[in-house]
Amino acid sequence: MEPRPRSFYVLSAFFAVFILFLYGPTITIGILSFQGEGGGLTFPMRGVSLYWFYDLFEQQAVGDIWGSFRRSFVLGLMVMLVTVVVSVMGGLAFRRKFPGSNILFYLIITSLVIPSILISLGVGLLFSQSGLDVHWSTSGFGAQLTWTLPFGLLIMFAVFNRFDKSYEEAARDLGASPWQTLRHVVLPIIAPSLIGVALFGFTLSYDEFARTLLTSGSYNTLPLEIYGMTTNVTSPVLYALGTLTTVFSFIIIGVFLCIALIANRRRARQSSDAGKGHI
Amino acid sequence: MVSPLVAVLLIFLVLPIVLIVIVSFWRATEFSIIPAFEFDNYAFLFGSPVTYTVFLNTFKYALITWAFTLLIGFTVAYYLAFHIRSLTWQIALFLLCTIPFWTSNIIRMISWIPFLGRNGIANATLISWGVIDEPIEWLLFSDFAVILAFVHLYTLFMVVPIFNTMMRIDKSLIEAARDAGANGAQILWNVIIPLTKPGIMIGTIFVVTLVMGDFITVRFMSGSQSANVGRLISNEIALLQYPSASATAIVLLVTVLITIGILLRFVDIRKEL
């Protein structure tokens, strides 16, 4: 191996600082959420306690944290499921040109770049003008899909751009029906990327704020609840909540990564036995 | 196959935009909005000096954030793509960079408070080093804090596409350049940067649109002292002035789409995925 150039060490230091910049603040509020009872929003720590976490579980005056967490979780699962299914279908359809495919592609890009507040305002107006009530599971759900679907679709486009069509041809030559080809050949090959789409679907929904602001109705999702707290709560209880939601996000990410890892291992183990033959 | 996708986009993207366009011509009274067809909202918008200040401010945020995210994002992607030699390490470090993207933006904004506050870590450190005598007031709730938060939240959107294009650069091109006598800087400038342009463009599109459409970061990090177009719209919504909010929203949308249209001339997204 050739020796490392000097720029390697400079860039390594830069990268380390960047990682510190990314994680430092989060770690800080993680530490500060264990602040003692008399402690404030910054250092020094006045003792170490779980006081603010207890406070979080008891205090009901701020709002309905656990209710909003439950809603966000359910909404995240709904968005995740629909994002995966619709993205796969869209990705499959976009493999060949169809009437309007160009317009649809630019609509997807628009959906990605449009300022979130327009979706919030527009969907809110749509529901109020047509006499429907806004609710997190209807208008909020749809508004979030306009954010998660473009990500899911872009991943699927990238996957199918690299997809080797000869697998499908082989399946067809062996007499598989279109459905069998999809079920037994295409889907297993793209399965690992679906884990990525699912991760995007869930986390983007779970953390989404702007698009749910005017579309969730009287029952808040968790990000809206947290945002409400920032305006009237000035104690480390805010950090405790922040730490808990971040830990929850890390667990979700960890679960998805583990599934991806296991799926990859399994695929490596069960991979083709071509060429091994029976001797 | 595409019908569910078309349905979602029609109901939750196209219809809402159409409705915003329609409502932007309506009239607002103190307690309700009345269907009409008048240009008062636009006339007021373009007649007010506030509009121009706020739009200028929005462009300022976008431009400064873009410059910082590009510099940092390119450097990080370059390090990962060309200095890390094993694929496993590349993936691991890349994941380390992307994980914060999957956590809450609001929490990540809140987490700057203990750093930047009047008695925060930054001020305390600077005072103990003797750099300053009194706490700096402009660390939190200022344009500085807004830009810092933007860079913190959105650098990832530069790292990912730039890293993606860099990984697809044929390494033999770089060897060829070196054999032809190019030094490191020349390789970077004449080989790597031109080949990375599509990734840079995609990252630029993400960062510029996210910053231009933002209203929450500006509100939170400036302590309501600065404004961009997003905040203008959200303030009008809070006052139930839906027609004027709609007019402002349409002007913002047109501005964003023109910007993206210009950027898309430099890159074919479908080819780059």
- Ordered by start, the domain boundaries in chain B are 49-272
Q: If you average pLDDT over every residue of chain A, what do you get?
A: 84
Q: Which of B79, B253, B257 sits opposite A11 (nearest CB)?
A: B79
The fraction of chain A above a pLDDT of 90, given in percent, is 22
Q: Binning pLDDT at 50, 70 and 90, where does residue A62 land?
A: low
Residues B245-263 have a mean pLDDT of 90
Locate tokens 């199918």: which residue? A160
Q: Where are the domains of chain A?
A: 66-232
**Those residues with Cβ within 8 angstroms of residue A234's Cβ, 6 or more apart along the chain or in another chain:** A41
pLDDT-wise least confident of A74-78, A112-116, A272-276, B10-14: A272-276
Give the pLDDT of residue A277.
57
Give the pLDDT of residue A225.
84
Taking CA–CA distances from A122, the nearest residue in chain B reads B16
**pLDDT: which is higher, B266 or B232:** B232
Q: Binning pLDDT at 50, 70 and 90, where does residue A61 land?
A: low
Give the pLDDT of residue B118.
77
Indicate the pTM of the whole model: 0.88
Residues A81-87 have a mean pLDDT of 94
Q: How far apart are CA B208 and CA B249, in angstroms?
A: 16
B16 has a chain A CB within 8 A of its CB: yes
Q: Binning pLDDT at 50, 70 and 90, where does residue A31 land?
A: confident
CA distance to partner chain A, nearest, from residue B215 (Å): 8
Give the pLDDT of residue A275.
54
B16 and A246: CB-CB below 8 Å?
A: no
The superfamily in CATH containing domain A66-232 is MetI-like (1.10.3720.10)
Q: How far apart are CA B198 and CA B196, in angstroms?
A: 6
Residues B126-149 have a mean pLDDT of 84
A146 and B269: CB-CB below 8 Å?
A: no
CA distance to partner chain B, nearest, from residue A185 (Å): 18
Give the pLDDT of residue B254.
93
With vertex at residue B238, the alpha carbon angle to CA B235 and CA B242, rounded to the nearest 5 degrees, is: 90
Which residues of chain B make contact with A105, given a CB cutoff of 8 A? 270
B 157-176 near A (Cβ less than 8 A)? none
A117 and B212: CB-CB below 8 Å?
A: no
Residues B13-29 have a mean pLDDT of 88
Compute the count of residue pairs across chains A and B with CB atoms less than 8 Å apart: 230
A28 and B114: CB-CB below 8 Å?
A: yes
B152 and A118: CB-CB below 8 Å?
A: no
The fraction of chain A above a pLDDT of 70, given in percent, is 92
Residues A122-136 have a mean pLDDT of 86
pLDDT digits (tens, 9 = 90+) for A160-204: 888 888 888 898 899 888 888 888 888 888 888 888 899 889 999
B237 has a chain A CB within 8 A of its CB: yes
Q: How far apart are CA B174 and CA B263, in angstroms?
A: 27
Residues B52-60 have a mean pLDDT of 91
Give the pLDDT of residue B86.
85
Encode burial over B5-22: b for 16+ CB neighbours within 10 A, e otherwise.
bbebbebbbebbbebbee
Give the pLDDT of residue A274.
57
CA distance to partner chain B, nearest, from residue A118 (Å): 6
| pLDDT of A99 higher than 70 | yes
Closest CA to B96 of A250, A261, A13: A250
B256 and A22: CB-CB below 8 Å?
A: no
User: Which of A10, A42, A96 to mutate to probe the B interface, most B CBs <10 Å?
Assistant: A42
Q: Binning pLDDT at 50, 70 and 90, where does residue A33 land?
A: confident
Q: Binning pLDDT at 50, 70 and 90, where does residue B208 land?
A: very high
Q: Which of A105, A113, A125 sits opposite B260 (nearest CB)?
A: A113
CATH 1.10.3720.10 given to domain B49-272: yes
pLDDT-wise least confident of A34-43, A260-269, B153-162: A34-43
Joined tokens for residue B224? 């309501």
B4 and A123: CB-CB below 8 Å?
A: no
B95 has a chain A CB within 8 A of its CB: yes
Q: Which amino acid is at B59?
A: F
